Structure 1
Amino acid sequence: MFGLFNKKTKKEKLQAQYAKLLKEAHSLSTTNRKMSDAKVFEAEQVMKQIERLP
């Protein structure tokens, strides 16, 4: 209840985006390897952004 009005930090948003991209990459890995690799690359870029945050 008390966490209802707390906004997500930038790091939390990026972590959620990273997890989403990896999940999409995993589901694409069985049907379209090229798209899966692209999603993994995007996820790596997001992880680099997370690492740069203080």
Structure 2
Amino acid sequence: MFGLFKKKTEVERLQEKYKELLEKSHKVSHSNRTEADKLMAQADEIAQKIDQIKKNY
């Protein structure tokens, strides 16, 4: 109940974005491989940001 008002951390927001990009990439990969590769590249950049943030903690 008290978690209702808890703000998400930057890592949590990036992890959600990463997950969304992976799902989109998988769906698009069946029809447009180039677009799927672009989405995967974006997801990889986000993963690197997450790793960098975790290293700084």
TM-score (norm 1): 0.97
Structure 1 stretches of 4+ moved >2 Å: none
In structure 2, runs of 5+ residues without a counterpart are none
Partner of residue 9, structure 2:
9
Q: How many residues align?
A: 54
TM-score (norm 2): 0.92
Please report how far the alpha carbon of residue 4 of structure 1 lies from its aligned counterpart in structure 2 after TM superposition. 0.5
In structure 2, distance between residues paired with 1:28 and 1:7: 31
Find out whether 1:41 has 2:27 as its counterpart.
no
Please report how far the alpha carbon of residue 2 of structure 1 lies from its aligned counterpart in structure 2 after TM superposition. 1.0
Percent identity (aligned): 39
Structure 2 SS opposite 1:7 = coil
Deviations 1:4-50 (A, max 9, x none): 00000000000000000000000000010000000000000000000
In structure 2, distance between residues paired with 1:11 and 1:40: 18
Partner of residue 31, structure 1:
31
